[in-house]
Amino acid sequence: MRVRLALAALVVCACAWAQQTMTVDQLLSFIRSSVKMKMPDKDVAGYLAKVKLSERLEERTVEDLQGEGAGPKTVGALDALATASASLPKPQPKAPKPVYMPPPPPPPEEQQAIISEIRAYAMDYSKKLPDFICTQVTRKYLGQTGQDGFHPQGTVMENLTYFDQQEHYKVTMVNDHSVDLSHDAVGGASSAGDFGTMLKVTLWPKADAIIEFDHWATLRGNPCYVFSYRISSGNSDYSILFGRSDRIVVGYRGLIYVDKKTHSILRLTLEATDIPRSFPVQEAGEILDYGYQNLSGSEFLLPLKAQVFMRHDRERNRNDIEFRLYRKYSADASIKFETDVPEPLPDDQTKEQPTQPQGRSPK
């Protein structure tokens, strides 16, 4: 039924075009649509018999349409149109699409000022966070190297309490079943330290991160400086744990997205480097996004979503971790365990957008 309705719509459209003079572009659009919708060859040729062109149809264009699937009767009708339009002017060339010109990098002195500011921001970030509770939702996926896509493996919900600059986890639901487990008992790829630790160990002096301006971007509507960084394994505090005891410290690199207006960090990405070939994990990384949350009338920039990646031989693991339902914590606050899994965040919340075209600097 859907095919018939679509075909009927195309017939109506064709009839409308047949009652007026068409440009070559309109003709091409009709022929390609008819091929896609598998309209009968004789019907298409019948429509074309009523068409008049306002521009010259080249024989080469007819050959191209034949190669795209136009039937023999349709090609005959197109040849007739090419002959009838031979004295008409050629179609006007299409205007070229505007070439995207990225804005120039900020001046070196501005870059260094921003880098100094985000280092200080990372050192103080955890100290300025309030005590709070939130629900952490982890959606686990599994894939195989060489195959497209990931397949859902389960959902884990945890009650996460942030108190005295420390994170405390309590697993409450696994695949819609109530449980009472520790964070580490769930198994699979996981991460911790998203509430400041990752920022701090990346940007504190000990890490000696090499930071350079990379590009401009827009994230959640905010123009951003994007800096690349890299940290050697000798200065790193990032470790990968496989199983219960197989742990190594590795170097890593990534990107830091800095809000141009507030100079707050909106995203931090991490990709492990220098992993020994003998180690069971060949790839590991994380993307951590921060978003504004309202706690008792005040706005705080808190983790919004993290993606954790890991590959062991041909097996690829991905965890999509969302931080939802933030509320302020106090000693006498009642802790309510959520049982309904919230819908995933829409893609536009974490998708990077390009900056303004034509070389205009973000404002």
Closest of 290, 228, 288, 299 to residue 264, by C-alpha: 290
Closest of 191, 132, 130, 131 to residue 156, by C-alpha: 191
Instruction: Say yes or no to pLDDT of 251 above 70.
Output: yes
pLDDT confidence of residue 189: 56
What value does the mean pLDDT take over residues 160-178? 85
Q: Model confidence at 345, in pLDDT bands (50, 70, 90)?
A: confident
Q: What gap in Å lies between CA 271 and CA 217, rounded to an integer?
A: 19
Q: What gap in Å lies between CA 169 and CA 322, rounded to an integer?
A: 14
Residues facing 271 on adjacent strands: 253, 285
What value does the mean pLDDT take over residues 186-212? 80
Instruction: Say yes or no to pLDDT of 361 above 60.
Output: no
Question: How does pLDDT run across 113-150, given as a tens digit for each residue?
Answer: 999 999 999 999 988 888 899 999 999 999 987 777 88
Q: What gap in Å lies between CA 20 and CA 53, rounded to an integer?
A: 9
Instruction: Say yes or no to pLDDT of 249 above 90.
Output: yes
pLDDT confidence of residue 360: 44
Greater confidence, 175 or 212? 212
CB 229 within 8 A of CB 253: yes
What value does the mean pLDDT take over residues 224-250? 92
What value does the mean pLDDT take over residues 271-283? 93
The rounded percent of the chain whose pLDDT value lies above 90 is 57
CB 171 within 8 A of CB 186: yes
CB 189 within 8 A of CB 308: yes
Instruction: Say yes or no to pLDDT of 358 above 90.
Output: no
Instruction: Say yes or no to pLDDT of 90 above 50.
Output: yes
pLDDT confidence of residue 356: 60
All structural domains of the chain: 2-84 (no CATH), 108-331+339-353 (2.50.20)
pLDDT confidence of residue 227: 98
Other beta carbons within 10 angstroms of residue 117's beta carbon come to 13
Measured in degrees and rounded to the nearest 5, phi and psi for residue 59 equal -60, -35
Q: What gap in Å lies between CA 197 and CA 7, rounded to an integer?
A: 59
Select, from the ranges 94-98, 158-162, 271-275, the one with the highest average predicted confidence (pLDDT). Answer: 271-275
Q: In a 10 Å sphere around its CB, with 0-12 CB exposed, 13-18 middle and 19+ buried, how is residue 4 labelled?
A: exposed
CB 133 within 8 A of CB 159: yes
Q: What gap in Å lies between CA 51 and CA 4, rounded to an integer?
A: 24
Task: Spell out the alpha helix ranges (H) of 20-173.
Answer: 24-36, 41-48, 59-67, 72-84, 108-125
Instruction: Say yes or no to pLDDT of 185 above 70.
Output: no
Amino acid letter at 296?
S
Q: What gap in Å lies between CA 33 and CA 69, rounded to an integer?
A: 11
Q: How many residues does the chain have?
A: 363
Question: How does pLDDT run across 4-28, given as a tens digit for each residue?
Answer: 444 444 544 545 544 568 899 999 9
Q: What gap in Å lies between CA 191 and CA 193, rounded to an integer?
A: 7
* pTM reported for the whole predicted model: 0.71
- The average confidence (pLDDT) of the chain is 85
The side-by-side arrangement of strands in the sheet containing 222-231 is: 177-181, 166-174, 151-163, 132-144, 315-328, 298-312, 281-295, 265-273, 251-259, 222-231, 210-219, 352-353
What value does the mean pLDDT take over residues 305-324? 93
pLDDT confidence of residue 268: 96
pLDDT confidence of residue 333: 56
Greater confidence, 122 or 339? 122
